[in-house]
Structure 1
Amino acid sequence: MALPGLDISDLINTSSSLERTLKPHQEFRFEVPPTASVTIKIKTDAPGTAELFGTELSRGTPYTFTGCKSAIYTWTGCTLIIEGAPSVEYIAEETPMSTYLNLHIALEKLRVAASDCPPTADGAQGPRILLIGPPDVGKTTLCKILTGYAIRQGRKPMVINLDGGSEGVLSVPGTLSAASFGSVMDVEDGFGNSPMSAPSAIPVKLPLVYYYGLEAPESGAKRYKKLVTRMSVAVNSRLEEDIESKNTGLIIDTPSFDNQSNGDLISYIVAEFSVTAIAVLGSERLYNTMLKSFSSASPNINVIKLPTSGGCVDRDLPFKKACRDAAVKKYFFGDEKCTLSPYTVTVEFESPTFALWEVVDSADGDRTNLSFLPIGEDESSLQGEEVRKLAPADIDSRFENLIITVLQVDANHATAKEVGESPVLGFLYVQEVDDKAKRMKVLSPVPGRVPAKALLVGKWPEGMFLT
């Protein structure tokens, strides 16, 4: 039976089966389109083990993949059984996994040294590594690998996602998030699931989430920096209460940085999170820029260059949008293994507990979204604003199919500063807007009225059809 909004009935299924035998240090790379599914498992009557991005696969357990470009690596050699038809599949002999393992070993040595120090000593802080590079060079993949290896070592890494333009980590697209990982990651879902109202085979994580609402940091650099600061303060406070995570350190994933104009943002992130190592992937120029910027001025920061895997491929815009849509659909509807049923709730614009704010795109020089301006205001009214409150008359059908963020600040008397920097409580999806009746129907993951909290809508992710 198909789930509403998931179009699972349209998935391409096939009973075809094939085997691929991998030698030690080989990698099985495969691509699955969003409309297909592929199931892979390790053959139990053949020796060997395998892992996917640092997380070991259980022998004989089938794993189903949809809408992904992924790779399974083996240190020992193994035989894989593949059910379905990947759009691309091949075995690669040249991989950077040995280099990535050496990086993990170097980080682990620093963690051992941090664990040997008294909890309040400066040396008790584990390594803090920042991953940077151009688009589609494997930054998030390396983040998963380092996280998976740290967990298998018995550590609790704090993973920070600063890429609001991605599919999100334990959240929906358009957000920045941080979470401590003390249990195994999900092979099929990468970082795993955020808390939901259904059982999960993998322990859920409790992320701290901030809503950015724009595709790129440059679109709202001032507010982006504020959210980075808020995140760093919260993370440092958490580390003081969690000595295991403090000893393990931070693994920070970032947006795509591939030119000198991003230098200010990189320096800001490095300073706010007290980064001790910068790993540059896929850009010789960026690597040398980082060397000049940090090696001499900041001797405590190590800048390293890492090779990009040959399995990294450019993801076209339709594929990226399909991944973002799937992430949002999963938040509200779940997936084949974990079905969720969101609730339809009516929200009155003129309710005393209703307050809808909008993220302002400061980088949109031509103001193609001037139609979103409140009645009577012009372009000059946007100067310096990061978020602004919308009047009931400003809300119409243009907001349909968008995500609305429920913040942790009260709707009444919330200031623009509080709204712009508040953590996230949850998300709503706008199904229908009745501007004449001054109300809208939204999907909510929980029953009952929408909390009397400030609501925030952004330009990212773009509109999508869930139902």
Structure 2
Amino acid sequence: MASDGDDGIAVQTFTLEQEQELRVETPARGEIKLKLVDGTAEVFGAEIAVGQSITCVSGRKLAVFTYHGATIEVRGEVEIAYVAGETPMVSYANTHSVLNAKRVAAASENSSEAEGPRVMCVGPTDVGKSTVCSILCNYATRAGHAPLYVDLDLGQGAVTVPGTICAAPIDAQIDLEEGIPLEMPLVYFYGDLTVNNPDYYKHIVSRLGTMLDERSKANEEARAAGCVVNTMGWIDGVGLELLLHAREALKIDHVLVIGQERLFGQLQQKLKGTDCQVFRLQKSGGVVERTPEYRRASRDRMFKEYFYGATGELAPASQTAYFSKISIYRIGGGPRAPTSALPIGQAPSTDPMRVTPVVPSTSLLHSVLAVSHGKTQGDLLTSNVAGFIYITEVNMMQKSFTYLSPCPGELPSNVLLSGNLKWLGEDVK
């Protein structure tokens, strides 16, 4: 039922029956508000309180699901809003039950060998992998556990800016407006949106796996809670090789294949004889294919949210750094061996793990650089990053650059990592 409110804003009311889902897509510009009028409902596994309003900004998509029935009010102009009777949410809840049983068993055992589930969602692009990860994390927190959310998808940036591999503990329901919490993320900088250096990507994932193991040994609750891993949509050739490497490096024992039977069959065959179980989950009918423009806008939004906050509540600091006071490096590149040392007819290749100094130039303009915890050039391959800065101006006469930082004050380190991340920021002057 549609009408206009007292303030002239369009209002629609939807009545959902048991196990139905309201799917809402917002227009490219503008925002809407959803409110639970009565009943019980959740968004991606996060419960909504009666009377609670959720703001959905431009370009976002939400699915409000109810197990028992609910009435939802939508305020604002929507791209599309409809009630769906067929939804895989029950199968996702059943998957959570299987995973939670392992968490409970691991928590009840005193042995340090008893591990909680380490689950990885895989599948092609646009099948809802990140949504399933959010649902499983939210269900886990509602059951009293705090799993680690691991994001291996370079192009998305679910935890922080795109071009990174990240992990963050989820000890409360993921905020429907602000997303995954950034209080204690572990972030490794890859520096690109696609994997053009598979060796370095594998190195970072292996490093993350080592940190995950150390965390499990040091914290019994973390060991029992396990982790939920989101992956890229690259599943063929080298992409499949990277998935299998991540499965081994992170010691994944549950692989959830979404949206493709072929990949399900491949993984069943390749993981036969291991302690890893492979399950197939249905793709939600609400998942739609994202255009390149939509993906670009989503990445820009993640960069903007890092510096300005999800609702623009942050005021990033603009500061100046001199070339003489900082060191910038890039990982990958440089000759591996001279031609004379190679077999006849073989061309020299680049060293994917070489750390190369970067000479500051105007090419840094609009770059997003990582502030590394590494203090020396040798530390950079194994160090995570403290955060990111955005270059707004390069002055070659003064040999300096101006940058945005999420907070004022000196940088945690003067060692910076450069990649291919560019962002044409808004209102940065």
Q: Name the structure 2 match of 1:38.
A: 32
Q: 2 CA distance for matches of 1:263 and 1:386?
A: 25
Q: Name the structure 2 match of 1:401.
A: 366
TM-score calculated relative to the size of structure 1:
0.83
Q: Name the structure 1 match of 2:338.
A: none
Deviation at 1:59, TM superposition (A): 1.1
Q: Name the structure 2 match of 1:198.
A: none
Q: Which structure is higher in RCO with an 8 Å CA cutoff and minimum separation 6? A: 1
Instruction: Say yes or no: does 1:268 pair with 2:245.
Output: yes
TM-score calculated relative to the size of structure 2:
0.90
Identify the match of residue 28 of structure 1 among 22, 28, 49. Answer: 22
CA, structure 1 residues 94+106, in 2 after alignment: closer, same or farther (shift >3 Å)?
same
CA contact (8 A) 1:30 1:86 kept: yes
Deviation at 1:382, TM superposition (A): 4.6
SS at match of 2:229: strand
Percentage of matched positions with identical amino acids:
32
Q: How does 1:58-457 map to 2 (within 5 A)?
A: 58-66=49-57, 67-120=59-112, 122=113, 124-169=114-159, 171-191=160-180, 193-194=181-182, 205-217=183-195, 219-295=196-272, 297-298=273-274, 300-336=275-311, 339-351=313-325, 354-360=326-332, 382-392=350-360, 395-396=361-362, 398-410=363-375, 414-415=376-377, 417-457=378-418
CA contact (8 A) 2:177 2:310 kept: no
CA contact (8 A) 1:400 1:433 kept: yes
CA, structure 1 residues 176+49, in 2 after alignment: closer, same or farther (shift >3 Å)?
same
Deviation at 1:323, TM superposition (A): 1.5
Q: Name the structure 1 match of 2:420.
A: 459
CA contact (8 A) 2:178 2:310 kept: no
CA contact (8 A) 1:407 1:455 kept: yes
Q: 2 CA distance for matches of 1:399 and 1:315?
A: 30
Q: 1 CA distance for matches of 2:99 and 2:384?
A: 30
Note the alpha carbon deviations across 1:162-198, whole angstroms, 9 max, x for none.
11111331x111111112211222022332x32xxxx
CA, structure 1 residues 112+451, in 2 after alignment: closer, same or farther (shift >3 Å)?
closer
CA contact (8 A) 1:344 1:443 kept: yes
CA, structure 1 residues 136+210, in 2 after alignment: closer, same or farther (shift >3 Å)?
same
> Amino acid of the residue matched to residue 93 of structure 1?
G
CA contact (8 A) 2:328 2:358 kept: yes
> Amino acid of the residue matched to residue 425 of structure 2?
F
Deviation at 1:381, TM superposition (A): 8.3
CA contact (8 A) 2:23 2:62 kept: yes
CA, structure 1 residues 14+174, in 2 after alignment: closer, same or farther (shift >3 Å)?
farther
Note the alpha carbon deviations across 1:427-466, whole angstroms, 9 max, x for none.
1111111123211110112223334431012113x33222
Q: 1 CA distance for matches of 2:111 and 2:280?
A: 32
Q: 2 CA distance for matches of 1:386 and 1:256?
A: 27
CA contact (8 A) 1:161 1:177 kept: yes
Q: 2 CA distance for matches of 1:380 and 1:260?
A: 24
Deviation at 1:361, TM superposition (A): 7.8
CA, structure 1 residues 236+344, in 2 after alignment: closer, same or farther (shift >3 Å)?
same
CA contact (8 A) 1:14 1:83 kept: no
> Amino acid of the residue matched to residue 137 of structure 2?
T
Deviation at 1:34, TM superposition (A): 4.5
Q: 2 CA distance for matches of 1:386 and 1:165?
A: 23
CA contact (8 A) 1:402 1:463 kept: yes
SS at match of 1:341: coil
> Amino acid of the residue matched to residue 276 of structure 2?
I
> Amino acid of the residue matched to residue 355 of structure 1?
S
Q: 1 CA distance for matches of 2:188 and 2:370?
A: 10
Deviation at 1:384, TM superposition (A): 3.8
CA contact (8 A) 2:197 2:352 kept: no
Count of aligned residue pairs for this structure pair: 408
Structure 1: any 5+ residue segments left out of the alignment?
1-12, 195-204, 363-378
Q: 2 CA distance for matches of 1:328 and 1:342?
A: 12
Note the alpha carbon deviations across 1:345-376, whole angstroms, 9 max, x for none.
1111123xx101134489xxxxxxxxxxxxxx
CA, structure 1 residues 287+335, in 2 after alignment: closer, same or farther (shift >3 Å)?
closer
Note the alpha carbon deviations across 1:222-262, whole angstroms, 9 max, x for none.
11111111111111111122211211211111111332432
Deviation at 1:99, TM superposition (A): 0.8
CA contact (8 A) 1:26 1:74 kept: yes
The alignment yields a C-alpha RMSD, in angstroms, of 2.0
Q: 2 CA distance for matches of 1:14 and 1:391?
A: 56
> Amino acid of the residue matched to residue 278 of structure 2?
V
CA, structure 1 residues 383+157, in 2 after alignment: closer, same or farther (shift >3 Å)?
closer
> Amino acid of the residue matched to residue 138 of structure 2?
G
Q: Name the structure 2 match of 1:6.
A: none
Note the alpha carbon deviations across 1:45-81, whole angstroms, 9 max, x for none.
x3x1100001001110111011312211111111111
CA, structure 1 residues 348+14, in 2 after alignment: closer, same or farther (shift >3 Å)?
farther
> Amino acid of the residue matched to residue 103 of structure 1?
T
CA contact (8 A) 1:260 1:286 kept: no
CA contact (8 A) 1:408 1:425 kept: yes
CA, structure 1 residues 459+361, in 2 after alignment: closer, same or farther (shift >3 Å)?
farther
Q: Name the structure 1 match of 2:46.
A: 55
CA, structure 1 residues 386+463, in 2 after alignment: closer, same or farther (shift >3 Å)?
farther
SS at match of 1:421: coil
Q: 2 CA distance for matches of 1:35 and 1:401?
A: 24
Q: 1 CA distance for matches of 2:191 and 2:45?
A: 30
